Structure 1
Amino acid sequence: MFALRRLARITISRNARFFSISPPRRRQTLGTVAAVTVASVVAGTLGAIYPPPPIAILFPRAAPGPPAEPDSPQSIAYSQSLEEQLQALPYLQSLRGQDDSRDWYETRPYKDFPEERRVNNLTAGALRGPGRLALTPLIRVRKDESESIVFIHLGRGLCGHDGIVHGGLLATLLDETLARTAIINLPEKVGVTAQLSLNYRAPTMADQFVVIKTRIQEVKGRKATVIGRVEDLKGTILVEASAMFVQPRYAKLLHSAQLRKQMGEPPSDEPILLADGQDLNPGHKHR
Structure 2
Amino acid sequence: MQSTRPIAALSQRLASSSSKSAASASCWIRPPTPFLAPGATTTASQASPTATTPQRRAFATSPSPRVGGSGTLIKATIALSLVGVTSYLFGSLYPPQVLKLLFKPVSPPRLRSDGPEAEAHMREIEDALHSLAIVKDLKTTSVAHGSAAELEVLRSQGKHITDLDASTTVEVPAHGRIPGANVAVAGPPVEGGAADTHQYVMTRPYLKYSREKARHNLTAGSLRGPGMVAVPPLVFTKTGHGASQLGGNEGDSTIVLHLGRSLCGHDGIVHGGMLATVCDEALARTAMYNLPGKIGVTARLEIDYRKPTMANQFVVLQTELIEQRGRKAVVKGTVTDVDGKLLLECRAIFVEPRYARYFLDAKAIKQAIEG
Q: TM-score band, normalised by the shorter chain? A: 0.7 to 0.9
Q: Does 1:263 align with 2:369?
A: yes
1:89 and 2:132 correspond: yes
- Cα deviation, residue 236, structure 1: 1.0
2:300 to 179, 184, 195: 195
Checking the alignment, whether the CA contact within 8 Å between 1:110 and 1:263 is kept in structure 2 is no
Looking at structure 2, the residues matched to 133 and 263 of structure 1 have their Cα atoms a distance apart, in angstroms, of 19
**1:84-109 deviations in whole A, cap 9, x for unaligned?**
11001012222334699921110000
Contact 1:147 1:181 in 2 (8 A): yes
Extract unaligned runs of 5+ from structure 1.
1-20, 266-287
Q: 2:198 maps to which residue?
A: 102
Q: Which has the higher contact order (CA 8 A, sep 6+)?
A: 1
Cα distance in 1 for residues equivalent to 2:355 and 2:102: 49
The equivalent residue for 2:105 is: 61
More displaced stretch, 107-116 vs 82-91 = 107-116
Scaled by the length of structure 1, the TM-score of the pair is 0.75
The partner residue of 1:249 within 342, 354, 358 is 354
Q: Does 1:212 align with 2:337?
A: no
Q: Distance in 2 between matches of 1:168 and 1:60?
A: 22
Letter in 2 for 1:220: R
Of 109-118 and 219-228, the range deviating more from structure 2 = 109-118
Contact 2:203 2:370 survives alignment (8 Å): yes
Shift, 1:221, TM fit: 1.0
Q: Which runs of 5+ in 2 are unaligned?
A: 1-67, 143-195, 241-249
Is 2:286–2:320's contact at 8 Å kept on the other side of the alignment? yes
2:238 matched residue in structure 1: 142
What's 1:275 paired with? none
In structure 2, distance between residues paired with 1:235 and 1:153: 15
Describe the shift of the 1:138–1:101 C-alpha distance in structure 2 as closer, same or farther (beyond 3 A).
farther
Give the drift of 1:39.
Answer: 4.8
Matches within 5 A, 1:27-176: 29=74, 36-37=80-81, 39-67=83-111, 69-97=112-140, 102-144=198-240, 145-176=250-281
The answer to whether the Cα contact below 8 Å between 2:336 and 2:344 also exists between their aligned partners in 1 is: yes
Q: % of aligned pairs identical?
A: 43
| TM-score scaled by length of structure 2 | 0.59
Aligned length: 241
